[in-house]
Amino acid sequence: MKQVTRSRTALLLMGACVVFTAMVAFLAWRLSSSRLDTPPAHTASLDRREDWTAYGGTWEAVDGVMRNNSDERGAKLMSGSANWKNYSVEADVQLLGQYGDAGLILRARNEEEGVDAYNGYFAGLRDLDDSVILGRADFGWREYQSVPVKPRVNAQSWYHLKFLAYECDFVVTATSLSGDITTAATRNQDCLQSGRFGLKSYATGALWRNVQVRPATRADEVAMIGPEPPPSAVAHDLAGGATSDTLDRDLEAIDRETKNHHFDPHAIPIGNLRLLAPGKLTQVTVHGIVTLTSPVLFIQDAGAGLAIVRRDARLPLEIGDEVEATGDLAPGDFSSVLKNASVRVLWSHSPVAPVSVTASQAASGNYDAMFIEIEGLLQQKEQGPNQSLVLTLSSGSQSFRAIVSGKGRTSFPWTLEEKSRLQLHGICVIDPAYTQNQTPFAVILPAIDDIEVVQRPPWWSTGHIVAGIIVLLLLVLAAQTIHGRLERMKLRAVFEERERLAHEIHDTLAQSFAGIGYQLQAIHDEVGNETELREHLDLATDLVRTSHDEARRSISALRSETVEKLGLLQALDECAARIANGGPIEVQLRNVGGGDPGSIPPRVADALFRIGQEAIANAVRHADASKMVISLLHQSTAWQLLIEDDGRGFPSGQDSANFGIRGMGKRAESIGAALDIRSSPGAGTSVQVTVPRVKRFIRSRWREYDRKVR
Amino acid sequence: MTVYWNAPTRPHDVQKQIALLEKVVALHYRGIVLAPDETLALRTPIKHALATHIPIVVVGTELGIDPASNLSYVLNDEVAGGRLAARRLGLILNGQGAVAIVGLDPKLKSMTLRDRSFEDTLASEFPRIRVIARRPGQASAAQEQETTGELLQSGTSLEALVALSADATRGAYYALIESNRAGVIHLIGFDQDLLPPIRNGGLDSVVAQDTFEIGRLAISQIDGRLHGAQVPDKLIVQPKLLTRENIDSPEMREVLTAHWWEGQ
């Protein structure tokens, strides 16, 4: 059993590998063939509608035959690559109508819907004057060649058409079923160099089959027209039929067209068929315009529509053909069916415009067998029998089905979303074969292009609303979380600010009050000595004023203006003089590294000043120092403030919990600096603060990087 | 100058023509020449296009919108056309007989103008020629053929038919061929489309629009407006009567020349 399982696994793996390799090869072929300037020799797949782009027309591929049922003036179906240069296209072509042309397009670009709306070359058969034509379209038609076909171009007969483009030579041959070959060729100076190929018909429906594309060489051209170069392209200036040279051909074609329109004047209006005796077959003749050809033939006159079952379905019919039908009438409740009917085309070019109805109107049965335009909301889509697509739609209180042939398509042509509002053009039928007795009526669509999305589904479906509520809740939750975090951060900032203010007051007002106290003590000591007394009173007054200023500044800006005005070193010097108050202490200032103390960011300078102020105060008041060195070191990566005194010092660890030293530590921390206090009894104290120059560091690295990149 | 030319693939497809007009407006072409399929339906789209200040020249038929700084008309002289047809009819009927008019189309002002001029001229210059039937225009030549065929089978005695449009001319000719009365009942048509029967007399004559001159003047007007020149609000181009005698004349060959834009 295990052995079998392993074999199966191996087989599956091999199969997957083969499929993967085939897919890769196919994709590579598609990519390369679309980029190369020469097409690979291949037979175009008419059934793969995704390979083709339609510009007008009603295109349908059935059993390897591409059919355009429209008699528009210039319906095109394009394929291939815009880069293709020298190549030929061959196909069997059949005209359905008596008064138009059909053939092949080469080297086309800029295709649009419209008459001759492309840049490219066209060669085809025209039964208007029984000729093979060759010319160029540049949003306007230039006909270079019009060569008579002997004996003539017959509608509903196959011709083999080969159209070749090599350099600026264009050659076409048309071969009839009897083997007669008609050739037209031209050399077009300033020719279009490359482009897609396509199928085109003008004023008639047409069929194409066996469409083959091959690279073309000079040898291929010679095989078609011999070694002589083709004549230079000269556009015929005169309108068709204006010259006497083609008079006989022109009149003959007109005569054929005229006779083709002969009709029975005793035909019965379709609406009157209901008035005939019910329950028995009656042979009648009717006139009407074809509104649907497949799966059932429907015609319509000014008043009503009719389904027709043909005796011989070989005659190709196209939508817009006015036909005369004779057959046995089988009356129905709402509309009749003409059975065993013979159908003759009177003329084409007369498409019926759809009657716009609501679902309620269609559900009345009054539009049975009529070509209608109707709107509805798509409720469901499914694959029906014979590759058909079945859509279920609703409108108001009615629901209905829409059926369209999906032949030639491997999947749904577009993503039709449920709840989309669709507009449909098709035949309204109440036959249970189509409605399954589930809906009051159904609409048979002539082609997939008869579905138009009027409005995409609304965004507020149940699923979307639920999703929206979930997203909203998540957003509210996120906002709540962010708000909570912000509140906490705010609270923390308040606490930090309070602490900072406490340090600030300690460093400013407390220091000043200490100075005032010191002066008052001196006054007390100096009572009796008027001169000294006055001096101490002056100093105490100054201290009070300074304290007042400091308090104001602390409140308003929380930083020292002294630093801002004098610079860090001078401010510290002044601070030392003020605290020493003329005491026997020598202060030395050192600015090492040549930097500008003013370049230190204000926040950093302020913190350094406060730390320095505390260190100076400690040196003067507690250490009894006689000499103090204040150094500011400008390094490339840091600033360093060093305050050294020769005071009595203190043992390591002592006073470390002192509020002043703790304050220095806090201040250092607030600017990301490292504080190093070294002292020992009798050996003085050094306070060193090192502030990394973060911004400059980053900036210098960036400059270095930028230099390297350049 | 590059000319973008396009038209709906179905005749009288006004919606497609409006869509094409809106497209070229959106693509910012420097000027538009429009031959309207209908008078009323094109008014609003033309007004929208005029609001974008693109110079527009309307050819063939008036829309009822007054010429403005960027709108002018190059028109076929429909009054002269109706008069030409009436005088030709007076000549070939020797001033006496019964005539039917087919292809009447109230949706185009040009059609009503040519009909009115034709009948006024007959009444004033050939009072013994009676208009005994009028038939409305149809969507295609085939339907025109049916209309004329019914007229001919109704037993109405006619000496001549006047068809006011190209489709009506073709349909009336087909009906005459079908009833073996081509050349017996004189047919005068409008707008050059069906040409070969002029040479054998099946179609007596056609009142031809000088489309070459209309196209040339329309492009000249666009060019003039783009260069700040004063251009007339309305230019009227005289039609020409195309007959068996003059169909190969240089004057008529110019009218029948197709690619008028080449070498401009």
A200 shares its domain with A136: yes
* CA–CA separation, A576 and A469 (whole Å): 67
A contacts of B4 (beta carbons < 8 Å): 139
Q: What are phi and psi of A325, to 5 degrees?
A: -125, 135
A167 shares its domain with A79: yes
A127 shares its domain with A234: yes
* CA–CA separation, B169 and B116 (whole Å): 18
Amino acid at A596: D
Whether residue A377 is predicted with pLDDT greater than 90 in this model: the reply is: yes
- Chain B interface, Cβ < 8 Å to A: 3-11, 16, 20, 139-143, 145-146, 149-150, 153, 173-174, 177-178, 192, 194-197, 199-200, 247-248, 253, 256-259, 261-262
In a domain? residue A11? no
At B24-76, the pLDDT tens digits run 999 989 999 999 888 888 889 999 999 999 999 999 888 888 888 889 999 99
Nearest to B5 among A113, A139, A251 (CB): A139
Domain boundary among A190, A223, A257: A257
Of A7-21, A158-172, A615-629, B211-225, the range with the lowest mean pLDDT is A7-21
Q: Do B259 and A235 touch (CB under 8 A)?
A: yes
A451 shares its domain with A479: no
- Percent helix, strand, coil in chain B, to 5, is 40, 20, 40
Q: Do B11 and A73 touch (CB under 8 A)?
A: yes
A contacts of B248 (beta carbons < 8 Å): 244
Task: Answer for the pair A305, A298: CB distance below 8 angstroms, yes or no.
Answer: yes
Nearest to B142 among A56, A140, A261 (CB): A261
Q: How confident is the model at residue B264 (pLDDT cuts 50, 70, 90)?
A: very low
Q: How confident is the model at residue B18 (pLDDT cuts 50, 70, 90)?
A: very high
In a domain? residue A436? yes
Question: What kind and span of H or E run contains B156?
Answer: none
Per-residue model confidence (pLDDT) at position B242: 95
A contacts of B146 (beta carbons < 8 Å): 261, 263
Q: Do B9 and A74 touch (CB under 8 A)?
A: yes
A187 shares its domain with A211: yes
A93 shares its domain with A221: yes
Domain boundary among A232, A257, A282: A257
Q: Do A347 and B145 touch (CB under 8 A)?
A: yes
Average pLDDT over residues B142-148: 85
Exposed (0-12), middle (13-18) or buried (19+): which is A480, by Cβ within 10 Å? exposed
At B151-209, the pLDDT tens digits run 998 888 999 999 999 999 999 999 999 899 999 999 999 998 889 999 989 999 999 99
A464 shares its domain with A541: yes
Indicate the DSSP class of residue A15.
H
Whether residue A1 is predicted with pLDDT greater than 70 in this model: the reply is: no
Amino acid at A215: P
Mean pLDDT, chain A, whole residue set? 83
* CA–CA separation, A600 and B73 (whole Å): 79
The C-alpha of A71 sits at a distance from chain B's nearest C-alpha, in angstroms, of 8
- CATH code, A325: 2.40.50.140
The listed CATH number (3.40.50.150, 3.40.50.2300, 3.40.1360.10, 3.30.390.30) that belongs to domain B14-76+209-239? 3.40.50.2300
Task: Output the 3-class SS for A627-667.
Answer: EEEEEEEECCCEEEEEEEECCCCCCCCCCCCCHHHHHHHHH
Per-residue model confidence (pLDDT) at position A701: 55
Whether residue B260 is predicted with pLDDT greater than 80 in this model: the reply is: no
Task: Cis check for the bond before A295: say yes or no (omega within 30 of 0).
Answer: yes
Which residue, A455, A456, A458, A454, is CA-closest to A468?
A: A458
The full set of domain ranges for chain B reads 14-76+209-239, 78-208
Indicate the DSSP class of residue B39.
S
B contacts of A115 (beta carbons < 8 Å): 6-9
Task: Output the 3-class SS for A369-384.
Answer: CCEEEEEEEEEEEEEC
Residue bearing the bigger pLDDT, A419 or A523? A419
Q: Do A73 and B9 touch (CB under 8 A)?
A: yes
Residue in B closest to A116 by C-alpha: B6
The C-alpha of B260 sits at a distance from chain A's nearest C-alpha, in angstroms, of 9
The C-alpha of B173 sits at a distance from chain A's nearest C-alpha, in angstroms, of 9
Whether residue A274 is predicted with pLDDT greater than 90 in this model: the reply is: no
Task: Answer for the pair A79, A197: CB distance below 8 angstroms, yes or no.
Answer: yes
The DSSP annotation for A187-252 comes to E-TT-----EEEEEEESS-EEEEEEEEEE--HHHHHHHH-SSPPPBP----BPTT-SSTTHHHHHH
A contacts of B262 (beta carbons < 8 Å): 235
A50 shares its domain with A145: yes
A349 reaches B (C-beta below 8 A):
yes
A442 shares its domain with A470: no
Q: CA A448 → CA A388, A453, A598, A628, distances in Å?
A: 10, 12, 80, 98
Task: Answer for the pair A564, A536: CB distance below 8 angstroms, yes or no.
Answer: no
Domain boundary among A455, A485, A515: A455
* CA–CA separation, A82 and A193 (whole Å): 10
* CA–CA separation, B173 and B2 (whole Å): 38
Mean pLDDT, chain B, whole residue set? 90
Sign of CA dihedral B57, B61, B62, B63: negative
In a domain? residue A378? yes
Q: Do B9 and A140 touch (CB under 8 A)?
A: no
Of A41-55, A300-314, A505-519, the range with the lowest mean pLDDT is A505-519
Task: Answer for the pair A120, A105: CB distance below 8 angstroms, yes or no.
Answer: yes
Of A119-123, A355-359, A697-701, the range with the lowest mean pLDDT is A697-701
* CA–CA separation, A497 and A495 (whole Å): 5
The C-alpha of B198 sits at a distance from chain A's nearest C-alpha, in angstroms, of 9
Task: Answer for the pair A349, A368: CB distance below 8 angstroms, yes or no.
Answer: no
Structural domain of A304: 270-347
A281 shares its domain with A422: no
Per-residue model confidence (pLDDT) at position A27: 67
Q: What are phi and psi of B179, to 5 degrees?
A: -95, 10
Q: How confident is the model at residue A603 (pLDDT cuts 50, 70, 90)?
A: confident
Task: Answer for the pair A337, A307: CB distance below 8 angstroms, yes or no.
Answer: yes
In a domain? residue A262? no
A242 reaches B (C-beta below 8 A):
yes
Q: Which residues pair with A162 in a beta bridge?
A: A90, A173
Q: How many other β-carbons are positioned within 10 Å of the β-carbon of residue B66?
A: 10
Of A1-5, A242-246, A603-607, B56-60, the range with the lowest mean pLDDT is A1-5
Q: Do B256 and A242 touch (CB under 8 A)?
A: yes
Per-residue model confidence (pLDDT) at position A374: 95
Which residue, B259, B192, B194, B260, is CA-closest to A136?
A: B259
A287 shares its domain with A226: no
Q: B24: helix, coil or strand? A: helix
Task: Answer for the pair A306, A286: CB distance below 8 angstroms, yes or no.
Answer: yes
The C-alpha of A321 sits at a distance from chain B's nearest C-alpha, in angstroms, of 10
At A67-126, the pLDDT tens digits run 887 778 899 999 999 999 999 999 999 998 777 899 999 999 999 999 899 999 999 999
Q: Looking at the 3D structure of chain A, how many domains does it have?
A: 5
Task: Cis check for the bond before A151: say yes or no (omega within 30 of 0).
Answer: yes
A330 shares its domain with A434: no
Task: Answer for the pair A411, A453: CB distance below 8 angstroms, yes or no.
Answer: no
Per-residue model confidence (pLDDT) at position B156: 86
| Six-digit token string for A350 | 């007369």
Q: What's this model's pTM, rounded to 2 decimal places? A: 0.60
B110 alpha-carbon distance from chain centroid: 7
B contacts of A72 (beta carbons < 8 Å): 9-10
Nearest to B196 among A142, A241, A322 (CB): A241
Sign of CA dihedral A270, A276, A280, A283: negative
Which residue, A98, A609, A89, is CA-closest to A316?
A: A98
Q: Do A265 and B153 touch (CB under 8 A)?
A: yes
| Cα angle, residue A269 at apex, residues A265 and A273 outer, rounded to 5° | 125
* CA–CA separation, A415 and A515 (whole Å): 87
Which residue's entry shows tokens 């004063």? B230
Amino acid at A628: M
Question: What kind and span of H or E run contains A326?
Answer: strand A322-330
In a domain? residue A27? no
Task: Answer for the pair A566, A575: CB distance below 8 angstroms, yes or no.
Answer: no
Whether residue A560 is predicted with pLDDT greater than 60 in this model: the reply is: no
Cβ contacts of B67 within 8 Å, gap of 6 or more:
B73, B233, B234
At B91-108, the pLDDT tens digits run 999 999 999 999 998 877
Which residue, A129, A299, A350, A304, is CA-closest to B144?
A: A350
Q: A424: helix, coil or strand? A: strand
Amino acid at A625: A
Q: Please, how many CA atoms are within 13 Å of residue A473, restricted to the half-sphere of its CB?
A: 6
Per-residue model confidence (pLDDT) at position A702: 57
Q: How confident is the model at residue A2 (pLDDT cuts 50, 70, 90)?
A: very low
CATH code that applies to domain B78-208: 3.40.50.2300
Task: Answer for the pair A381, A451: CB distance below 8 angstroms, yes or no.
Answer: no
In a domain? residue A623? yes
Average pLDDT over residues A50-79: 87
Residue bearing the bigger pLDDT, B81 or A585? B81
Burial A372-404, CB ≥16 within 10 A → b, else e: bbbbbbbeebeebeeebbbbbbbbeebbbbbbb
Residue in A closest to B174 by C-alpha: A258
B contacts of A246 (beta carbons < 8 Å): 196
In a domain? residue A412? yes
Q: Do A139 and B200 touch (CB under 8 A)?
A: no
A contacts of B180 (beta carbons < 8 Å): none
Which residue's entry shows tokens 């911004």? A695
**Max alpha carbon distance in chain A (Å)?**
152
Which residue's entry shows tokens 């815009």? A82
B contacts of A348 (beta carbons < 8 Å): 142
B contacts of A242 (beta carbons < 8 Å): 195, 247, 253, 256
Percentage of chain A lying above the pLDDT 70 cut: 85
In a domain? residue A26? no
Torsion angle of the four alpha carbons A609, A610, A614, A617, in this order, in degrees rounded to the nearest 10 = 60
Q: Do A247 and B196 touch (CB under 8 A)?
A: yes
* CA–CA separation, B223 and B1 (whole Å): 9
Whether residue A436 is predicted with pLDDT greater than 80 in this model: the reply is: yes
Q: Please, how many CA atoms are within 13 Å of residue B224, restricted to the half-sphere of its CB?
A: 17
* CA–CA separation, A704 and A343 (whole Å): 89
- Same fold for the pair B14-76+209-239 and B78-208: yes
Q: Could you report the predicted ipTM of this complex, rounded to two decimals?
A: 0.85
| Six-digit token string for A516 | 């005032």
| Cα angle, residue A327 at apex, residues A326 and A331 outer, rounded to 5° | 120
Residue in B closest to A111 by C-alpha: B6
Query: For chains A and B, what is the number of CB pairs under 8 angstroms?
Result: 108
Q: In what order do the strands lie in the sheet with B56-59?
A: B32-34, B56-59, B71-76, B234-237
* CA–CA separation, A602 and A567 (whole Å): 10
| Six-digit token string for A89 | 């296209």
